Chain A
């Protein structure tokens, strides 16, 4: 495969990942999520973004690279968490809405975060940066307003046609908005995410069905592309900081899950399960790391992010398994003599 093909495929993969993430949620769900879980969402940000940021700073990285590492350690993998909850049949659990609201808030934070990260990577001056942040917040706000008011019209436009025209229409719209967003300096990913938010109802179901396989294909190319850029010999030197970050990242999410689960009325077992479900980092951490790699920011960013994300992607499900088996409440009436 030629280098250009992998490049383009990877970019398409990242755009589709974010677009379909936006499709998953409606604007109402986002605002309700923020209302219900802003306290635990803030704790999540403090406990999981800050350690990555400090680690980058302690390693003597630039502010931008440290900011990116903070994003890598912050965002849980909604893909892994959702898959675990579905496969284990946990949607009926008390802590499930607690986990989902944290994931919703993280995704909303991510929309603004990517805008800021894109501005930082472009190396804008402090004044320009302030504008970019304001711009990112304003664009996110404006699209949320428009989606809330006109989302149904947008969805209807897509809804009435054949599968083929829906597929091409959606893909064209996403790429167009992503391209424009990139030109304005808000990052293509944010544009794609926002188009996803604006689509709801039946159109969202079709978008998911038609573009899901494309996302899986190009998403895979994106991960291969990222993996290709990491030289395995660069990983051993960053193993110590990676180990520290993995431990801190696990504790951070356990505390987040505990607090959030408690607010939703879950008992000890439920709070532990909520924390364990949030431990896995995944697709979005890699997208953030790729931003830095693409800009050639910090040679240690890719190996460190790889080590941390892949350890957590494996340890997360293991932690969920442990949480589900160790803390099972045994009532006295069911204890039998050996």
Chain B
């Protein structure tokens, strides 16, 4: 009777602090990441006995977080990404998903004010496997689109935060 365990990510805005993304593990404790408005990330794991209480938390830089996720995945794709990051002197490329239920679904690229707010450039949008190069400000997002953006690591982190904001 065992069903495959589904990971359900819960997003919680923390006013004045940032955005919290977390999920409950099969064993009970929650694990998640807090994206700070002022930049930076925090990893936390809740108590095994009291899932409401944080047991451990750790401040991480974006590079450390990327390295940690590489340790988990170790895919050719993420290795390529880290090479790119080193090669271009702090400038990186990131793939930022437009998830269903977030604010910019069915809104224009111009509405996100990504460049003014963070300084990243949107190079391409990937929709249903096909790339749409150089989208203009009038480009309208669908749920499931993936935005390919270029910028500094910190700017990309802020851009990810903007694109994840709630509707």
CB distance from A230 to the nearest CB of B (A): 31
Q: In the bound complex, what is the Cα–Cα distance between A200 and B117 (angstroms)?
A: 9
Q: Are B20 and A208 in contact (CB under 8 A)?
A: no
Across the interface, which residues of A come within 8 angstroms of B20, CB to CB? 91-92, 96-97
Q: Are B54 and A202 in contact (CB under 8 A)?
A: no
Cβ contacts B112-140/A at 8 Å (1 or 0 each): 01001111000000000000000000000
- Interface 9-mer from A116-124, A232-240, A326-334: A326-334
Q: Are B54 and A89 in contact (CB under 8 A)?
A: yes
Contact of B13 among A97, A204, A269, A330 (CB under 8 A): A97
Q: Which of B144-167 contact A (CB under 8 A)?
A: 158, 165-166
Across the interface, which residues of A come within 8 angstroms of B17, CB to CB? 82, 91, 100
Across the interface, which residues of B come within 8 angstroms of A92, CB to CB? 20, 22, 30, 32, 34, 42, 44-46, 54, 57
Interface size class on chain B is 20 to 34
Cβ contacts B34-47/A at 8 Å (1 or 0 each): 10011100101110
CB distance from B120 to the nearest CB of A (A): 11
Across the interface, which residues of B come within 8 angstroms of A100, CB to CB? 14-17
Q: In the bound complex, what is the Cα–Cα distance between A96 and B10 (angstroms)?
A: 14
- Interface 9-mer from A28-36, A69-77, A129-137, A244-252: A28-36
Listed from nearest, the 10 A-B pairs whose CB atoms lie closest are: A92-B44, A94-B52, A270-B52, A89-B57, A92-B54, A29-B15, A201-B117, A24-B16, A329-B50, A104-B15
Q: Is B49 part of the contact surface with A, judged by Cβ < 8 Å? A: yes
Contact of A328 among B38, B50, B165 (CB under 8 A): B50
Q: In the bound complex, what is the Cα–Cα distance between A156 and B119 (angstroms)?
A: 11
Q: Is B101 part of the contact surface with A, judged by Cβ < 8 Å? A: no
Q: Are A329 and B13 in contact (CB under 8 A)?
A: no
Q: Is B87 part of the contact surface with A, judged by Cβ < 8 Å? A: no
Give the most central of A29, A78, A93: most B CB within 10 Å: A93
Q: Are A331 and B49 in contact (CB under 8 A)?
A: yes
Q: Are B14 and A329 in contact (CB under 8 A)?
A: no
- In the complex, which residue of chain A has the Cβ closest to the Cβ of B32? A92
CB distance from B44 to the nearest CB of A (A): 3
List 18 other contacts, CB 8 Å, given A201-B158, A331-B49: A25-B15, A29-B15, A90-B53, A92-B34, A92-B46, A92-B54, A93-B46, A93-B54, A94-B46, A97-B12, A100-B14, A100-B16, A159-B116, A202-B118, A205-B37, A324-B53, A330-B49, A334-B49
Q: Is A6 part of the contact surface with B, judged by Cβ < 8 Å? A: no
Q: Which of B65-92 contact A (CB under 8 A)?
A: none
Q: In the bound complex, what is the Cα–Cα distance between A311 and B14 (angstroms)?
A: 28
Q: Is B7 part of the contact surface with A, judged by Cβ < 8 Å? A: no
CB distance from A93 to the nearest CB of B (A): 5
Q: Are A267 and B52 in contact (CB under 8 A)?
A: yes
Ordered by A's residue number, 14 sampled pairs between the chains whose C-beta atoms are within 8 Å are A30-B15, A82-B17, A92-B22, A92-B32, A92-B45, A94-B52, A97-B14, A100-B15, A103-B15, A152-B113, A201-B117, A202-B118, A269-B53, A329-B50
CB distance from B156 to the nearest CB of A (A): 14
Across the interface, which residues of B come within 8 angstroms of A91, CB to CB? 14, 17, 20, 34, 42, 44, 54, 57
- In the complex, which residue of chain A has the Cβ closest to the Cβ of B54? A92
Q: Is A40 part of the contact surface with B, judged by Cβ < 8 Å? A: no
Across the interface, which residues of B come within 8 angstroms of A93, CB to CB? 46, 52-54
Contact of A104 among B12, B16, B38, B39 (CB under 8 A): B16
With A92-B30, A93-B54, A152-B113 known as contacts, the answer to whether A208 contacts B44 (CB < 8 A) is no
CB distance from B10 to the nearest CB of A (A): 10
Q: Are A28 and B16 in contact (CB under 8 A)?
A: no
Q: Is A44 part of the contact surface with B, judged by Cβ < 8 Å? A: no
Q: Is A101 part of the contact surface with B, judged by Cβ < 8 Å? A: yes
Q: In the bound complex, what is the Cα–Cα distance between A93 and B55 (angstroms)?
A: 9
Across the interface, which residues of A come within 8 angstroms of B49, CB to CB? 328-331, 334
